[in-house]
Structure 1
């Protein structure tokens, strides 16, 4: 039987591949790695629409929900059929039988197995309006068609363009889980300016002009590598509940395809463990005191 590890098989099977291609970006294949001066040390290019098992395109979650969600179905109840399946009833009279899917890392057994990886930081973004200004052109040019990752002495500053033209950025650094962002947006900017003082002014425009309403602390967590749950009929864990990992390998969501049915759960665990180890290795390299040189060694 032919086998694919990619959840994109569901996109293809539901005739959504053209729409997915139109809204996704090849950021898993197109990225620049450099230092605080933004000088490129490594440049990788590829096609986000290459072979299904090899490509790692990214798509905004809101766009993906619009593609995949069946709207107009207000949930009413779920009833066990006794054979592992559930019947889901909706307000419009529709009834669907399927397994229960849980994907939240707030699921208690998942939270008990989570651990901080020693990397903390802030997620910020530049709204579409300021991102379109002439004085932002030099910064926007760095992320127009690819992901940018700049590393310097234990810190990482990454940025990428979203489908709505917003530019999302992460300022990450070695730090304890208990570190929290300052109370006000101006204080956050001051803290990031201090922590990112080695970075080029063109990158720090993202800090100076970030959206006050889109500042979030981002401590990074991971499940123990190789952790798996005992199989329960009628329940399939996906996403972070199955394989929570930091976003340093571009593969977190892409291992879900193996978790859909019981015969794939063992394969999913092995695949998730491989990518979890890769993303942990990258997290170590990206925030290493010898970055960016440390991150360049395996490339």
Structure 2
């Protein structure tokens, strides 16, 4: 008989895990707390790295479909000084496929494909060690038992407590997110500023980053260093107050840069958290983690790629040896920890340089990335 496997979380990592298992003919239960696939906006754009996210999609048999949906031109990157001067303007070659962009919603739909997701299943607790397997207890009081539970349930994972007491810690950086719709028609000046990819502006301990998505949609992020309670009392629904707060933080910046944020219609504040660089745990039979649940990092392009690859790799390993589930998971965890530690160190250092007292550090990070590519 096939092992009873559940993955908690319908994000990129959980769906990649389920999709690869499905490709190999193994059943898997996908438990997602959202009540439906369209219950909330899926988020912004992702750049999928050739040796990570794209490799995961290849393992799922979805690479060709991804290439049809992705936007290689989205790799373009322009960096401005706060006063508006252009410091860097990198345009990818027409055949550049190192890190093409794809909207999160399109990636989710691609991964979902034939999968059956149990929507609206909010997990309250995961309890290993039951004689019949690992218990998953739901918020409605029901429970189910599995041979393996994979926690792909993000930063504030309910699965993590089954293997580790560690919780995310604040990085010292907060952000306010907004977006522009139909930008080419309604805001042609800002569309030209953003271009086909992204525009980033770095100042002292703050930055503004705008990323083009498909369909004329642009996501804008204003990042800044602040105490954990720095956004307390700021009502996102009070757009005038949010804009005033932004203008106070970014006083003196060029008007077009400010307009990227000020023309937004809705605002969402967030505090950025991370897990320790070397987060590991003593192996617990019947449960494991992947993606942000295992190694939460700053949003600098690695997290989703790692989650996708980890989900695909774990599924492949299980498909190759379904009767050696515990051994497979032990090996997977060791490999995941080693790779994630390197990326966690890179991204945490990167955030400290991108939102720093010395804006020239951001240019150094950009130049180093271009040399790597």
Aligned match of 1:193:
247
How many angstroms does 1:99 deviate by? Answer: 4.4
Q: Work out whether 1:121 is the aligned partner of 2:175.
A: yes
For 2:59 and 2:53, locate their aligned partners in 1 and report how far apart those are by CA, in whole Å.
Answer: 10
Counterpart secondary structure, 2:277: coil
Closer/same/farther in 2, CA of residues 28 and 278 from structure 1, 3 Å limit: farther
Aligned match of 1:235:
287
Q: Work out whether 1:294 is the aligned partner of 2:354.
A: no
Aligned match of 1:36:
82
Q: Work out whether 1:56 is the aligned partner of 2:99.
A: yes
- Relative to the length of structure 2, the TM-score reads 0.64
* Per-residue Cα deviation, 1:40-82 (whole angstroms, up to 9, x for no partner): 323444469867xxx33332221111111146836399xx998
Aligned match of 1:91:
none
For 2:332 and 2:115, locate their aligned partners in 1 and report how far apart those are by CA, in whole Å.
Answer: 32
For 1:25 and 1:289, locate their aligned partners in 2 and report how far apart those are by CA, in whole Å.
Answer: 34
Aligned match of 2:302:
251
2:332 equivalent among 241, 255, 264? 264
Q: Work out whether 1:218 is the aligned partner of 2:270.
A: yes
Closer/same/farther in 2, CA of residues 28 and 274 from structure 1, 3 Å limit: farther
How many angstroms does 1:83 deviate by? Answer: 9.4
Aligned match of 1:103:
152
Please list every run of 5 or more consecutive structure 2 residues that lacks an aligned counterpart in the other structure.
1-49, 122-127, 136-145, 315-328, 368-373
For 2:242 and 2:271, locate their aligned partners in 1 and report how far apart those are by CA, in whole Å.
Answer: 15
For 1:98 and 1:204, locate their aligned partners in 2 and report how far apart those are by CA, in whole Å.
Answer: 53
For 2:92 and 2:134, locate their aligned partners in 1 and report how far apart those are by CA, in whole Å.
Answer: 41
2:116 equivalent among 70, 73, 94? 73
Aligned match of 1:18:
64
Counterpart secondary structure, 2:294: helix
For 1:47 and 1:264, locate their aligned partners in 2 and report how far apart those are by CA, in whole Å.
Answer: 36
Deviates further, 67-76 or 270-279: 67-76
Q: Is the 8 A contact 2:80 2:88 kept in 1?
A: yes
Q: Is the 8 A contact 1:156 1:173 kept in 2?
A: yes
Deviates further, 5-14 or 144-153: 5-14
* Per-residue Cα deviation, 1:243-282 (whole angstroms, up to 9, x for no partner): 111113x111112314643323222222212221121122
For 2:214 and 2:355, locate their aligned partners in 1 and report how far apart those are by CA, in whole Å.
Answer: 27
CA RMSD of aligned residues (A): 3.3
- Between Structure 1 and Structure 2, how many residues are aligned? 275
Aligned match of 1:171:
222
* Per-residue Cα deviation, 1:91-126 (whole angstroms, up to 9, x for no partner): xxxxxx984332222225378431111111201111
Counterpart secondary structure, 2:101: coil
Q: Detail structure 1 runs of 4+ shifted over 6 Å in the superposition.
A: 80-86
How many angstroms does 1:152 deviate by? Answer: 0.9
Closer/same/farther in 2, CA of residues 258 and 70 from structure 1, 3 Å limit: closer
For 1:267 and 1:190, locate their aligned partners in 2 and report how far apart those are by CA, in whole Å.
Answer: 47
Please list every run of 5 or more consecutive structure 1 residues that lacks an aligned counterpart in the other structure.
87-96
Aligned match of 2:24:
none
How many angstroms does 1:204 deviate by? Answer: 1.8
For 1:275 and 1:231, locate their aligned partners in 2 and report how far apart those are by CA, in whole Å.
Answer: 22
Closer/same/farther in 2, CA of residues 72 and 28 from structure 1, 3 Å limit: closer
Closer/same/farther in 2, CA of residues 103 and 111 from structure 1, 3 Å limit: farther
Closer/same/farther in 2, CA of residues 160 and 27 from structure 1, 3 Å limit: farther
Counterpart secondary structure, 2:194: coil
For 2:167 and 2:147, locate their aligned partners in 1 and report how far apart those are by CA, in whole Å.
Answer: 27
Closer/same/farther in 2, CA of residues 258 and 75 from structure 1, 3 Å limit: closer
